[in-house]
Amino acid sequence: MPMDAIRRPKSLTETVLERLRDAIVNGDFELGSALSERVLAERLNVSKTPVRESLVQLRGEGLVTIVPQKGAYVFTLSAREVVQICEFRLALEGAGLSLAIQRNRDALARDLSEVVDRMQKALGHGDQRKYLTLDTEFHNAIFAHCGNQYLTDSYGRYIGKIAALRTHLASKALHTHLSFEEHKLIRDAVRAGTEAEVDNLLRRHIGRTEETYSLEIEDIAMADKTSKGA
């Protein structure tokens, strides 16, 4: 007799991990801000153990920095690290997109179109957080159709950090508008363009993140605070 698999309830640590990851990705904590185990445990109404375990996991995802004898902090980036993230994305997303077009072009085009439609609705309602979630979903669709689990797993390890940087960049003037226009162009090219056209659009889209910061900037969070106070 066929049986449905039993769904294991989430552990307390998994629940805390999701809450903290979402808070960092959504920009509820500023880049570089301290994360007190005691304060977080009190806010989440849990002991410090699941908070500590979650912070260790988030360190592995690049979202948290743990300094011995000092504590845990939300990640921050130098401009050089932003460039490295962009290079990482170009390598993996470029490869994933090429494979997805070769193997599942119609399904990829359908999913990208559906996400773009939802992005447009989110913008129409002024829901920036929803738009950013859909932005992540747009890029995830590439790996959902590429047929290569190694690429998918490699990208998935840093997807939270990529999404957090995306949230940070959304505060820049015109960034979201330009981002949406680029997503539409990529969608259209996947539908009917050549692989070279799609790859070029993806490179322009990701490359714009690099252009936001000068290589001389050692801490983008501090640089942003300075520019806001000027």
Residue 86 banded pLDDT, cuts 50, 70, 90: very high
Element containing residue 72 per DSSP (H, E): strand 71-74
Q: Which residues have a Cβ under 8 Å from the Cβ of 147 and sit 6 or more positions away?
A: 99, 100, 103, 104
User: Is 182 in the same domain as 126?
Assistant: yes
pTM over 0.85: no
Tell me, yes or no, whether 117 and 34 share the same domain.
no
Q: Which of 74, 108, 124 is the last residue of a domain?
A: 74
Q: Tell me, what CATH number does 27's domain have? A: 1.10.10.10
Residue 91 lies in a domain: yes
Among 145-149, 188-192, 207-211, 215-219, name the one with the lowest average pLDDT: 215-219
Is pLDDT of 230 > 50?
A: no
pLDDT tens for each residue of 202-223: 999 999 888 876 655 667 766 5
Which residues lie closer than 8 Å to 195 by C-beta, 6 or more apart? Answer: 98, 101, 102
| Structural domain of 91 | 79-219
Tell me, what CATH number does 177's domain have? 1.20.120.530
Question: For the chain, what is the domain count?
Answer: 2
Note the pLDDT tens digit of each residue in 111-132.
Answer: 999 999 999 999 999 999 999 9
